[in-house]
Amino acid sequence: MHSRLSASRSLARQTRSLWLSPARCEDKPIMNRYSRTVTQPKDQGASQAMLYATEGIKDDEDFQKAMVDAFRCNRHLLGLGQEIKGSLVESGLIGYQFGTVGVSDGISMGTAGMSYSLQSRDLIADQVETAAGGHWLDGMVVVPGCDKNMPGVLMALGRLNRPGLMVYGGTIRAGSCAGQPQLDLVSAFQAYGQYLQDGKTPEAEALRYETVRHACPGPGACGGMYTANTMASAAEALGMTLPGSSSYPAESQEKHDECKTVGAAMRNLIEKNILPRDIMTRSAFENSMVLTMILGGSTNAVLHLIAMAHAVGLKLTIDDFARVSESTPFLADIKPSGKYVMEDIYKIGGIPKILHFLMKNNFIDGNNMTVTGATLGENLERWVHKHGELSASQDVIRPLDKPIKATGHIRILRGNLAPGGAVAKITGKEGLGFTGKARTFDSEEAFVSAVESGSIKKGEKNSRRMREMLKPTSLIMGAGLGQDVACLTDGRFSGGSHGFCIGHVVPEAQVGGPIALVEDGDTISVDAVANTMELHISPHEMERRRKAWVAPPIKVTQGTLYKYVKMVEDASHGCITDA
């Protein structure tokens, strides 16, 4: 978890041993001294899949070149921004275009670069707030394309409380290659685990390579109901996007058509002085939580929505998610645990049809204001009048009487291992409980090595003190251990993770939380119905270990990560930096 002091632990892996010494004058210069961390190893295949979709990579030889900039999810956003600027000008407004940082989790995942991921959310919020506040802009159109970008820009809009709306960059198309179902980034992550399970044969390598090469066919955010598409959908349920924005694919004509309508929408917001805090109300956040449960969205939505609510002066807690989860079924058969992708949501009529279905069945409130100047309910009625209601013949969204799981997949757990709470992603496909012996790891690299060596056994739980992880869970699933191994961490899980995953454990290991005291062989049990998580040792033994525990040192002493670890709150409080 990138919270408190643990954000910096992963930086210990950025040692001099990762890089070669300077080349002698007669040697060929080393140009990819840093980028080879993600472009060369087989276990970074997902990073390579992302890079194949960037403009600079034409073939494998390009991975030997120096990289100066690369970001698949956002590669098309400058163009969308230009279209939006033109729409603003046509509506009699002045548009200025400026950018902010973005960390591609798909490229950074599995490396020390992920230490910058969650931190970038608040950095984005600060940058957008600073640019708009410092220049007295009358309104903002924010155009995010990846996981942390969406909550980051919406936090900025909420803090400033000036007219604004969000245009989502859109989801990627599904990939494909011979003999395989539709591919996405998680396919590339799991391909390495499958390669290990299949014995590293030439045939296994050919399958791994083809999967990596074809998983990401173009621009746009990762294709399943991962964090980007989860947060885009949540933003639409909040009322902060134009109808359909979250489900229009990045390369669709509808995405370009949406950009052309932004100017009129922004002019209306400014004329009527409709503000983000008029839209992002308590009821709107309730709608977002419900939609997240229905769709099987990312656990990261918990900390992001808590942080976004804080930005508009509302208090949202993990207990709110627990309450909503108990009363909301899980209906969407979408990756990572299902078979469909976000593009399929688009094909059945988009998020507005699903929201209308939920409103019709009294799961959400249609009376909330939106960036159109109309209520959510009015927008949804217009949408289904034009496009029809959600069809009963489609099977992307299950009927209410045949849910994938009768209650929400996001479970808020508490117990002696997580007195401050933990967030589990339990779809029911992996069971509703787990008891196993602990294998502890203090680094993602050690965990990956254990999977590679075959030393992770059935019935084990593992890990602590980590950043966001997708590689470990993907290796577990790819190696065929998804039903037999639970992953437990004070770090975060990617929205692409599935299996028995428990993250956001509070307090964290870095500050002496009980997870720091777990030893190999300890028995841990999780009950996703009673929402409990227990370490089965005596209170006396727990206290003995606590007294013997010594805090690991902070691994950064300056820079953006150092500032972050000094300011950030824990996951149960949204990892905010302005408490």
Rounded Cα distance, 36 and 496, in Å: 24
Q: How far is CA 564 from the centre of its chain?
A: 19
Both structure tokens of 326: 């108990």
Nearest C-alpha neighbor of 160 from the set 343, 18, 312: 312
Unique residue bearing structure tokens 């950074």 = 108
Give Dmax over CA atoms of the chain in angstroms.
73
Does the annotation mark 393 as catalytic?
no
Query: What is the SS3 assignment for 434?
Result: strand
Provide the 8-state DSSP code for 201: -
Find the catalytic residue in 87, 494, 497, 572: 494
The set of residues, in sequence order, having a beta carbon less than 8 Å from that of 391 and lying 6+ positions away, is 348, 349
Alpha-carbon distance of 121 to 144, in angstroms, equals 11
Nearest Cα residue to 149 out of 270, 54, 244, 230: 230
Over 512-542, what HEC string results?
Answer: CCHHHHCCCCCEEEEECCCCEEEECCCHHHH
Q: Which among 170, 165, 307 is positioned nearest to 246, based on CA atoms?
A: 170
Q: Which DSSP string corresponds to 400-432?
A: TTS-SBSS-SEEEEEETTEEEEEEEE--STT-S
CA atoms lying within 13 Å on the CB side of residue 579:
17
Which positions ≥6 away from 26 have C-beta within 8 Å?
none
For 273, left (φ over 0), alpha (ψ -120 to 50), or beta?
Answer: left
Strands 164-166 and 140-142 come out as: parallel
- Distance between CA atoms of 474 and 43, rounded to whole angstroms? 11
The residues carrying an active-site annotation are 494
